[in-house]
Amino acid sequence: MTMVEVETSADLAGSELPSLAVTLLKGVIYRDGDERLWAALLDLQAQLRDYMKVLDLELVFDEAEGYAFLRSRPDDAETSGSSAGSRPPRLIARRPLSFPVSLLLALLRKKLAEFDAGGGDTRLVLTRDEIVELVRVFLPDSSDDTRFIARIETHINKIVELGFLQRLKTAGPPSYEVRRILKAFVDAQWLAEFDDRLAAYRAQWLAEAGAPGDAEEGEAGSGRSRTDVRTGNP
């Protein structure tokens, strides 16, 4: 008699969980990036949450927006007042962003909120020049426009590296899609305080620009925002 083999849910979990975990440790899983992996994530998200707790990580999963990623669970010192020495080492590093990058992220998040309020397409695509103009009105005038644009391009490249912008392959001017995962890092409460934060960013930029040396030196020094993100992709 021929035996029919049936794959059970336990078998599926055993085969897919390691693949999901490794992929998430490397970066973000997008619904439009790998449909098979996304389907596995939908089926196994509860098991995956338990699986990652062992590594002191939590799963951030937004089915509506179509992304999932890992982040460190709140530190013991933040939740129970315990000493920093009792916390396990972080698997996902955090690092502060420069003020120009933080400013640009805030402006992109505000643009995304305005775009969503208008309805229509779900993909916000901006050209390099449109992004430059978003920033220009908030920063000191520059007599060297070419140098100014080059500096903004450096910040754009950083945001691409972080995973909040995706560079598109187009025949025209450089274009970028604002990834919706930005909403998970700049939330509605943060956005509600946008004007106050924007004023603080601009004041810091002016202070750095007026200090000895140029603004780039200020960015590389101690002037930093309080925004922390994981190393690499979000």
Q: Is residue 35 located within the same domain as residue 130?
A: no
Q: Is residue 14 located within the same domain as residue 60?
A: yes
Bridge partners, 125 (sequence order): 177
Q: Is residue 70 located within the same domain as residue 123?
A: no
Domain membership of residue 1 (yes or no) is no
- Supply the DSSP symbol for 60: E
Q: Is residue 113 located within the same domain as residue 82?
A: no
Between residues 193 and 113, which one has the greater pLDDT? 113
Domain membership of residue 3 (yes or no) is no
| Banded pLDDT at 223 (limits 50, 70, 90) | very low
Look up the CATH number of the domain holding residue 143.
1.10.10
Amino acid at 22: V
Q: Is residue 104 located within the same domain as residue 192?
A: yes
Domain membership of residue 222 (yes or no) is yes
Q: Is residue 106 located within the same domain as residue 179?
A: yes
Domain-ending residue, one of 50, 76, 92: 92
Distance, in Å, from the CA atom of 104 to the CA atom of 95, rounded to the nearest integer, reads 17
Distance, in Å, from the CA atom of 58 to the CA atom of 206, rounded to the nearest integer, reads 38
pLDDT computed for residue 179 by the predictor: 93
Look up the CATH number of the domain holding residue 21.
1.10.10.2250
pLDDT computed for residue 88 by the predictor: 58
- Residues 121-153 pLDDT 10s: 788 999 999 999 998 877 766 778 888 899 899
| Banded pLDDT at 177 (limits 50, 70, 90) | very high
Q: Is residue 58 located within the same domain as residue 106?
A: no
Expressed in angstroms, the distance from the first to the final Cα of the chain is 52
Domain membership of residue 225 (yes or no) is yes
- Residues 25-79 pLDDT 10s: 888 899 888 888 899 999 999 999 998 888 888 899 999 888 999 888 766 444 4
Q: Tell me the residue range of the domain where 84 lies.
A: 9-92
pTM for the full predicted model: 0.68
Domain membership of residue 200 (yes or no) is yes
Domain membership of residue 80 (yes or no) is yes
Domain membership of residue 122 (yes or no) is yes
pLDDT above 90 for 172: no
Query: What is the DSSP track for 155-210?
Result: HHHHHHHHTSEEEE--SSS-EEEE-TTHHHHS-HHHHHTHHHHHHHHHHHHHHHHH
Q: Is residue 86 located within the same domain as residue 99?
A: no
Q: Is residue 168 located within the same domain as residue 128?
A: yes
pLDDT above 50 for 12: no
Domain-ending residue, one of 73, 92, 111: 92
Tally the domains of the chain. 2
Q: Is residue 225 located within the same domain as residue 146?
A: yes
Q: Is residue 125 located within the same domain as residue 151?
A: yes
Domain membership of residue 2 (yes or no) is no
Domain-ending residue, one of 92, 107, 137: 92
Number of C-alpha atoms within 13 angstroms, CB side, residue 233? Answer: 16
Distance, in Å, from the CA atom of 153 to the CA atom of 170, rounded to the nearest integer, reads 17
Q: Is residue 101 located within the same domain as residue 200?
A: yes
